[in-house]
Structure 1
């Protein structure tokens, strides 16, 4: 099935520092395209893949699971690692979950993480029944397009695929159990008002990522899809500053 407009993956070849970006659940690369282009303009080598089961139909998403999504992230990471001296990983929502898993597994091979409203759990009561309902209830109301800025629309599914969501819950458990394995520096941007991901996710990262420093930056004027919202410029500029600070630190540490 052909992907819908805006769901195409994005790639740009630049300097020796690479950045891998991951979009979120039921979303597509369009939610991160302006960020990716900003990073490319700053001279970085950028990869923004389309996750399997996304960018087509929610029914397609139900035929995939978190190992498929993570496999695409690993593939893109390997591509960047083969051509870059350092690789950073950035993600929005479930994209943040996926790149967190990447950093847990790859250790120092990931130079740093920038996460925007990453998801690691939910307090919603009905979510606990997703795996039981999946064979009978195939979709639920949509979660996409949570944007405060007027006139901005996120290309995302108009329904939430239940089987795929149940797989996302499995990913949450895997990632949260290994948060203490994170060693790279982390910057987390969190919207004060987010109608998709509750503050619980940020709390889990801040309290369980004991092997590294997590810097939390609050966004006062954006909802969940902050990369398309009012605070997007601050995220874009801040992520470049973050990369430069980490690369600069590494350069100093490499001096005999």
Structure 2
């Protein structure tokens, strides 16, 4: 069980030379593992699991939080190895991937189609190694701000993650403060910029071998996570359910519906 503070439980072994920060909540079966996005963290994926039955395993990929790995370059094969290590250790049969985490999850099921019974891919990243310019600029801005060590610069780099309507609300200020504290305390590995030197999934047709159930969630108007990427991915996965929201910042504007949609899919018999 997670400690009362909600802080990660500690570091667990991944691939050789890799240590991954992990937080476990809930109890019983089934077990679901949650994979965050680029420059994201455990706290950012926890809302997606709030209604999910059973044990929920959250972790930080290499280069995030207190997770550590040998120097890069790194690839999505490496991220898939992180995800696999956490899933195998916990006995997870279900998985949720956000953005970069969705790419890592796709790489894992392309390599091992039978690994999960159910998966959720939220705002999936492109699998072909070609990123939207806004995504490239976001990472460069974050890495530079974190490297500076100046909280004010980190705050300015993180602010675009929030919709304008949330910036001056208590929840928005709390989110911003938490993100700045986490990034300034733990840093962000520069090697993360090497991930897109090759496709996340070299042969996308391999996804057709997946025999579990998949839910793909995208949204219109997100320059970092274009809706056509979600639509294409849903077409690659046999029988996938696709839902596209009509505006971005889904975790802020449609949080209740998103949580219910994810939990209903994962909790179904």
TM-score by length of 2: 0.67
Query: 1:236 maps to what in 2?
Result: 259
CA RMSD of aligned residues (A): 3.4
User: 3-state DSSP class of the match of 2:267?
Assistant: helix
Work out which of the residue numbers 213, 234, 237 in structure 2 matches 1:206: 234
User: 3-state DSSP class of the match of 1:195?
Assistant: coil
Whether 1:18 and 2:31 are equivalent positions in the alignment is yes
Query: 2:59 maps to what in 1?
Result: 49
Query: 1:150 maps to what in 2?
Result: 166
TM-score by length of 1: 0.70
**How does 1:62-211 map onto structure 2 within 5 Å?**
64-81=74-91, 87-120=93-126, 121=128, 122=130, 124=132, 140-142=140-142, 146-148=161-163, 150-151=166-167, 152=172, 153=175, 155=179, 163-174=191-202, 176-209=204-237
| 1:41-82: CA deviation from partner (whole Å, max 9, x where unpaired) | xx311111111101269xx9966543442222111110222x
Work out which of the residue numbers 246, 250, 253 in structure 2 matches 1:220: 246
Cα distance, 1:25 vs structure 2: 1.0
Cα distance, 1:118 vs structure 2: 0.6
State the number of aligned residues. 218
Partners of 1:150 and 1:186 in 2: how far apart? 31
User: 3-state DSSP class of the match of 2:94?
Assistant: strand
**Aligned partners of 2:32 and 2:56 also within 8 Å:** yes
| 1:4-23: CA deviation from partner (whole Å, max 9, x where unpaired) | x9786321241221111100
> Relative to 1, partners in 2 of residues 1:11 and 1:193: Cα closer, same or farther, differing over 3 Å?
same
> Relative to 1, partners in 2 of residues 1:26 and 1:62: Cα closer, same or farther, differing over 3 Å?
farther
User: 3-state DSSP class of the match of 1:213?
Assistant: coil
> Relative to 1, partners in 2 of residues 1:221 and 1:174: Cα closer, same or farther, differing over 3 Å?
same
Unaligned runs of 5+ in 1: 131-138, 249-256
**Aligned partners of 2:107 and 2:201 also within 8 Å:** no
> Relative to 1, partners in 2 of residues 1:61 and 1:213: Cα closer, same or farther, differing over 3 Å?
farther
Query: 1:136 maps to what in 2?
Result: none
> Relative to 1, partners in 2 of residues 1:45 and 1:171: Cα closer, same or farther, differing over 3 Å?
farther
> Relative to 1, partners in 2 of residues 1:116 and 1:126: Cα closer, same or farther, differing over 3 Å?
closer
Larger displacement relative to structure 2 (65-74 or 148-157) = 148-157
Partners of 2:224 and 2:203 in 1: how far apart? 19
Partners of 1:101 and 1:125 in 2: how far apart? 23
| 1:133-185: CA deviation from partner (whole Å, max 9, x where unpaired) | xxxxxx72238652336043362769997752332352424363522222221
User: 3-state DSSP class of the match of 2:259?
Assistant: helix
Partners of 1:63 and 1:169 in 2: how far apart? 9
User: 3-state DSSP class of the match of 1:76?
Assistant: helix
